[in-house]
């Protein structure tokens, strides 16, 4: 059985600046092949929640499992990796280039606290499904606040 890489972390801050995104989007509109030069992209995702779990479905067609990593903590997940492009024909002229290649990263802050010991992930037909068990109310620790007078 093959396994996906799942890491457990604490700090999921995005590094991409707004200015860099504007510049990248500008160059992509001028030349669609700019996406082949290593530009970062974001896979599409669906997130749904039941009373017991959070289910995340991500579209990752063409991404090899070896190039896919999932980091999880009790409040967020970070999915990142790389999709390799297919070399274009040497004499071909692109008329449309919508498929994005290169590195990708998504950080999702979860709507409920999850139990990091009850996580499962499966990858089939280009879709990654992540199932995250929510912590029950009795498992969430609350601390009384003392007031100084």
Give 84-108 pLDDT, tens digit per residue. 988 777 888 888 888 888 999 999 9
What confidence tens digit (pLDDT) does each residue in 68-90 have? 999 998 889 999 999 998 877 78
How far is the first Cα of the chain from the last one, in angstroms, to the nearest whole number?
Answer: 60
Q: How far is CA 23 from the centre of its chain?
A: 22
pTM score, whole prediction: 0.67
Tell me how many degrees the CA angle 106-36-69 measures, rounded to the nearest 5.
Answer: 30
Alpha-carbon torsion 34, 37, 38, 42, what sign?
positive
Nearest to 119 by CA among 63, 62, 73: 73
CATH number of the 1-11+39-84+98-136 domain: 2.60.40.790
Which residue in the block uniquely carries the two structure tokens 């972390």? 9
Domain boundaries, the chain: 1-11+39-84+98-136
């Amino acid at each position: 059985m093959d396994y996906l890489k799942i890491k457990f972390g604490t700090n999921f801050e995005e590094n991409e600046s707004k200015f860099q995104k504007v510049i990248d989007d500008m160059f992509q509109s001028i030349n669609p092949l700019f996406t082949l030069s290593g530009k970062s992209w974001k896979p599409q995702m669906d997130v749904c929640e039941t009373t017991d779990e959070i289910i995340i479905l991500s579209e990752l067609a063409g991404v090899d499992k070896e190039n896919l990593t999932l980091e999880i903590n009790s409040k967020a997940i970070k999915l990142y990796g790389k999709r390799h492009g297919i070399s274009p024909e040497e004499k071909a002229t692109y008329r449309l280039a919508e498929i994005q290649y290169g590195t990708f990263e998504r950080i999702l802050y979860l709507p409920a606290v999850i139990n990091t010991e009850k996580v499962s992930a499966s990858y089939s037909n280009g879709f990654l499904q992540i199932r995250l068990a929510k912590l029950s109310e009795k498992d969430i620790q609350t601390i009384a606040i003392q007031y100084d007078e």
